[in-house]
A and B are shown apart, each in its own frame.
Chain A
Amino acid sequence: MSDLTKLTLKAAVDGLKARDFSSEEITRAFLANIETANPRLNAYVLPTADKALDMARAADARLAKGEGGPLEGAPLGVKDLFCTDGVQTTAGSNMLKGFVPPYESTVTANLWRDGAVMLGKLNMDEFAMGSSNETSAFGPVVNPWKSGVSNADLTPGGSSGGSASAVAGDLCLAATASDTGGSIRQPAAFTGTVGVKPTYGRASRFGMVAFASSLDQAGPITKTVEDAAILLRSMCSFDPKDSTSLDVETPDWSQSLGKSVKGLRIGIPNEYVVDGMPAEQMELWEKGQAWLREAGAEIVEISLPHTKYALPAYYIIAPAEASSNLARYDGMRFGHRAAEAKSLTDLYETSRAEGFGKEVQRRLTIGAYVLSAGFYDAYYVRALKVRRRIAEDFDKVWDRVDAILTPSTPSAAFAIGDRQIDPVTMYLNDVFTVTANLAGLPGISVPAGLDKAGLPLGLQVIGKALDEATVFQVAGALEDAAGFVARPEKWW
C-alpha cells in the first residue's frame, strides 16, 4: 500500500470508511514518521502514542460496525494551546510545563466527537506570541522546506509553527491551530499548506489558552482547501460556555468547492503593497488575480485606507489583553512557582520572570503600559478607534466586492535566527493578516507558488463575516488554478 501519511484528510477519511486501511494502521504510520522526524523538526512537544492507538482502535471498532463521525479514525495533531483532558498542555511555555488540565477544550472535544485520533500536542510560540516559533520554551520548530540556495534551517512561521510543520512534513493528516494576528495563515503560507481563520465567534475559545480574547480564533492547517473545509466544520460550534461564541449554523463548506467563481467580484486593496515585498510575491498576487479573472470573476480595485494603522493597533490591543489574560499565571495554583521567594511580591516577580520567556515578557510589559492610567486614552482607546475604522473600511467595500485577495505574507519563510534582532521586523510578518483579526473576518491562506529559492508562497482570501462559503469557493478556484503540488523534499 502507498504511504498513508501522504493522503489528504478527505482521502484518508474515505479510505477509513471504505475499510481500505484501519485507523490503527494509519496512526502507526504517522507515529513512525513522528519518531524519525520529530528530533529534527521539533513539531510535537508531546506525542501521545498510547492515547493515539487507543483512540484509533476505538475508531476501528466503530468503523467495523459501520458507525463513526465525519473524521472517524483520522489522526490529527493538536496545537498545544488547546487544553486536552489528562494530557499536558503548555502553550509553549515553561510557565505551564507539567500542567495537565482536567478538562477538554470545546474545539478538540468536537474533533473527538467526530471520531478523530490525537497524535500529540504541537509546538508553538510561547502563548502564541511570535511569528517564527522561536519563542517556544521547547525550542524552535523547523520548516520541512529548505531553500534552494542554503541549507539553513528555516522557520515554519508562527505561532502555529508546529501545526504547519507537522502537516507539511506528513506528521499528521491535519492539525488544529489558532490565529490572533496571522498565526494560522502565515505558517500555512510558509509551509505550502492551507490555513483558515474563521469568523470571530465561529469556533469556541473555551479551553483554549487565551492570548488576546477579542482576536483569538481556532482554525485548521491542512494539505488542501477541501481538508480545511472538512476540519473547520468539525471544529466550529455554538458554545454557551464562550460568551463571544456565535449562535449560528455551521454549514458544510465542502459544498462550496468546485463551484465556479464566475460573476464573483474580487477586491484588490491598494494598500496591501508594502515596501521591500519581494517581486515574486507581487507577481504571484497578480497571477492570482489573473487566475480568478480567467475563471470568470471580476477584479475590482478597492481601498482599505486604514490598513497602515492595523499593525500598530494590533500591537497595542493584543498585548493589552494578554497582560490581563496572563495575570493568572502567578505561581499560586498551577504552573511554575519560584522555589524560593522572600515575600508575596517576590514570589510573583520571580515566578513570572522564570516562567515567561523574553517575548512574552516584552508584550506583557507593553500591555500593562498601554492600559496604565495616563496612557490608556492615548494608546488603548485610540487603538480601539483604529480597529473600528478598519472594520468600517471592510464594511464599505462589501457592497462592491464578494471577497478580497491579498498576499498572505510579505515574504517566504526565513532562516531561524534571522529576524530575532529586531522584534518590529518580526511583527511585520503579520501585516496582511492582522486586519482580518481586527475586523473579525474569515481569512484563508492558499499555497499558490514558489519563490526563486523554491519556497512556498501563499495568497490570502478575506471574506465577509460568516461568509466562509465564498472564501472557500474562491480559495478552491485558486487552488485549482495554481495547481500547487510541490512537496518539501525529505531531508530529516
Chain B
Amino acid sequence: MTDKTFTIQGRTGPWELVMGLEIHAQVASRAKLFSGAAVGFGAGPNEQVSLVDAGFPGMLPVLNKFCVEQAVRTGLGLNAQINRRSQFDRKNYFYPDLPTGYQISQLFYPIVGEGVVEVEAEDGSFFNVGIERLHLEQDAGKLIHDLSPTESYVDLNRAGTALMEIVSRPDIRSPDEAVAYVKKIRTILIYLGTCDGDMEKGNLRADVNVSVCRPGQYEKFKDTGDFSHLGTRCEIKNVNSFRFINQAINYEARRQIEILEDGGTVDQETRLYDPTAGETRSMRSKEEAMDYRYFPDPDLLPLELEQAWIDEIRASLPELPDEKRRRFMSQYGLSQYDAGVLISEQAKADWFEAAAKGRDAKLVSNWVTNELSARLAADGSDFADCKLPPAYVAELVELIETNVISSKIAKEVFDHVWNGEGSPAQVVEKHGLKQVTDTGAIEKAVDDIIAANPDKAAAVAEKPQAVGWFVGQVMKATGGKANPAVVNEILKAKLGL
C-alpha cells in the first residue's frame, strides 16, 4: 500500500497529498428547492424567478418534496445512512446574487449521513472514499459584470435551485484518485437520475481541499483521527472539469510544498483555480472568512421522513454501476476493464445489453467499446443519442459468428451500416460482401498464385510462417471475402505443410 502512495518529490524529500472533496450537484428537478419556480438552462435573464426566490417581504419557503426524494435516492446510492430527521439552517451573508441575505442549507443535521463509495483506480485496483454527509441547499444567482463598464447585472434564474453537497472524507491521495472519485460520483448520480452531471453547465462542480504531508503522517491521522498530523489545507472552489481538477491539485500541492520547503507555513484559505494561467489564486484568508451566523431556519419545520417512504425509494433504485460491473463480468464473462468501460455510462451499458442478447458478448463488447464508441465520439454524440439500433450490431456479430463475413469485412459492413445503408445483412447482400467458402473458387486462386510464384512456394517448406504471404495474396485475389480458415486449410494442403 505505502509503496503505491502517490508522492511528489521535493528538494527536501517526498511529500504526500491528502484531499477531501465537496461536490455540488444540481438536483435533477423541474422546480426549485423552496419556491416552485421552474428550473432550466437557457431561459432569458430573470425569467425563472418567483417572488420567493427574489426575497420579497412576507414570502416563505415551502420544501419541494421531489428534491428531498432525490437526495434520499442519492444517499441510498452512496450506501449512506439516511437521517430520518434533518433540519434546514440559514447561512447568512450579504451578496447581490443572494436576495434573502441567507442561503438555506443544512449545517447541523444533514439529510444524509455517513456512506462509502468504491472507486476504481487507473490500474484497475479499487479504493474506498468515505462520505461524511450529503445535504440539500439552495444555489445562488449569478452576477454579470461584462454587460456594462459601470454596472453589474444580477440574474436570479439559478437562485433557489436545489443542490446536493456531497462531502467526502479526506480519503483521496492523488490527483488521479480525485478525478476517478468525481467520475464515480457523477456516474452514480446519472444512474440514479438525481443529477444530469453536466459539468459544462456547472450542474456538477467540486471544491477541492488539498494539503500535503510527509510520508507516515497520514497513517498517524488515520489511527488517531487527529487532523494536526496533516498539513494545513487550502480549499480550491468551484472546479468544473476533470482536467481542471487534476491541474488545480497538481499546482496547489506543488505551491504548498514550495512554501514548506522554503521554511514557510501554508495559510488556510480559499483559493480559485484559473485554468488560463494554470494556477490557483487566493480568494480569501481564514481571517477574512465570513461569520455565517448559522441558525435553524424558523420558516421551516424539521424534516421528518417515514421509514416506509425511504424503503419505497430504496426498492425503486436502478442497478448501480458497481453491481452492473460485477454482473457484466459474471453474466457475460467480460474482463473487469471491459465491464468498467461499458458501465461508465448507463446508456452505453444499456445499449450493450440490448445488442448482446444471444450473441457472443465479448465480441459485442468489442464493437461497442471500440468501433461504435469511436464513431459516436467523432460525431460529438453519445450512446443516449445513438441512432444506430443495437439490433444492427447484434446482426453484425451474428454474421461474423456464422461465418457469413469475416471480422475484417465486418468493418467495411459497419461503415456502410453507419452511413445509413440499412442493416448489416442488407449491406452484405447489396455489396456482395459474403465470405467465399466455395472451395473450388479458393482452390483456383491458390493454384494460380502458387503457379506464379514457384520460388516462394518452395521456400515455404523451410519457413512455414511465410504461408502468411500466400494468405494475403489469396485474400487480395478474392476481394477479402474468402473465408480465412478455408484459405489456410487449402494452402497447407497444396503447399504440403
Binding site for B on A (CB under 8 A): 82-83, 89, 91, 96, 99, 101-103, 105, 205-210, 212-214, 240-244, 320-321, 323-324, 327-328, 330, 332-334, 344, 348, 368, 371-373, 376, 380
- For the complex, give the distance between the alpha carbons of A24 and B157 in Å: 46
Which has the most chain B C-beta neighbours within 10 Å: A243, A333, A376? Answer: A243
> Quick one: CB contact mask for B33-77 with A, threshold 8 Å, 1 for yes?
000000000000000000100111111111100000000000000
Shortest CB distance B396–A (Å): 56
Q: A324–B101 contact, CB under 8 A?
A: yes
| Of B160-168, B177-185, B293-301, B323-331, the one touching chain A | B293-301
Candidates B51, B57, B99, B293; contact of A99 at CB < 8 Å: B57
Q: A327–B92 contact, CB under 8 A?
A: yes
New A-B contacts (20) at CB < 8 Å, excluding given A205-B60, A243-B299: A99-B57, A101-B57, A103-B56, A210-B58, A210-B299, A242-B60, A243-B60, A243-B301, A324-B293, A327-B94, A328-B56, A328-B100, A328-B101, A330-B94, A332-B99, A332-B154, A371-B293, A371-B294, A373-B291, A373-B293
- For the complex, give the distance between the alpha carbons of A99 and B58 in Å: 13
If the complex has contacts A324-B295, A332-B154, are A101 and B63 also in contact, measured as CB distance less than 8 A? no
Tell whether B352 is near chain A: CB-to-CB under 8 Å.
no
Chain B stretch 84-128: residues in CB contact (< 8 A) with chain A = 90, 92, 94, 96, 99-102
- For the complex, give the distance between the alpha carbons of A212 and B100 in Å: 15
If the complex has contacts A243-B61, A332-B99, are A348 and B54 also in contact, measured as CB distance less than 8 A? no
Q: A327–B101 contact, CB under 8 A?
A: yes
Would you list 19 pairs from A and B whose C-beta atoms are within 8 A, ordered by A residue?
A83-B58, A101-B56, A103-B58, A207-B59, A209-B57, A243-B60, A243-B62, A243-B300, A321-B298, A324-B102, A324-B295, A327-B102, A328-B100, A328-B101, A330-B101, A332-B99, A344-B96, A372-B293, A376-B295
- Interface of A, secondary structure class, is loop
Q: A368–B299 contact, CB under 8 A?
A: no
- For the complex, give the distance between the alpha carbons of A75 and B154 in Å: 42
Candidates B54, B56, B62, B291; contact of A241 at CB < 8 Å: B62
Shortest CB distance A178–B (Å): 11
Q: A103–B298 contact, CB under 8 A?
A: no
Residues in chain B near residue A213, CB distance under 8 A: 298-299
If the complex has contacts A99-B57, A332-B99, A348-B94, are A214 and B300 also in contact, measured as CB distance less than 8 A? no
Q: B58–A205 contact, CB under 8 A?
A: yes
Residues in chain A near residue B154, CB distance under 8 A: 332
Which has the most chain A C-beta neighbours within 10 Å: B59, B293, B294? Answer: B293
Q: Which residue of A lies closest to B156 (CB)?
A: A333
Residues in chain A near residue B63, CB distance under 8 A: 243
Candidates A206, A348, A376, A380; contact of B58 at CB < 8 Å: A206
Q: Which residue of B lies closest to A127 (CB)?
A: B57
Candidates B99, B294, B295, B299; contact of A333 at CB < 8 Å: B99
Residues in chain A near residue B56, CB distance under 8 A: 101, 103, 328, 333-334
Candidates B58, B99, B294, B298; contact of A207 at CB < 8 Å: B58
- For the complex, give the distance between the alpha carbons of A330 and B98 in Å: 10
Q: Which residue of B lies closest to A369 (CB)?
A: B293
Q: Which residue of A lies closest to B90 (CB)?
A: A324
Residues in chain A near residue B291, CB distance under 8 A: 372-373
Q: B298–A212 contact, CB under 8 A?
A: yes
Residues in chain A near residue B54, CB distance under 8 A: 333
- For the complex, give the distance between the alpha carbons of A210 and B55 in Å: 11
Shortest CB distance A321–B (Å): 5
Leading 8 A-B pairs by shortest Cβ distance: A327-B101, A371-B293, A213-B298, A214-B298, A328-B55, A207-B58, A209-B57, A83-B58
Residues in chain A near residue B55, CB distance under 8 A: 328, 333
Residues in chain A near residue B101, CB distance under 8 A: 324, 327-328, 330
Residues in chain A near residue B51, CB distance under 8 A: 102-103
Q: A327–B100 contact, CB under 8 A?
A: yes
If the complex has contacts A327-B94, A348-B94, A373-B291, are A101 and B58 also in contact, measured as CB distance less than 8 A? yes
Residues in chain B near residue A208, CB distance under 8 A: 58
Q: A368–B60 contact, CB under 8 A?
A: no
Q: Which residue of A lies closest to B63 (CB)?
A: A243
Shortest CB distance A214–B (Å): 4
Residues in chain A near residue B298, CB distance under 8 A: 212-214, 244, 321
Residues in chain B near residue A83, CB distance under 8 A: 57-58
- For the complex, give the distance between the alpha carbons of A244 and B60 in Å: 10
Candidates B60, B92, B100; contact of A371 at CB < 8 Å: B92
- For the complex, give the distance between the alpha carbons of A96 and B56 in Å: 11
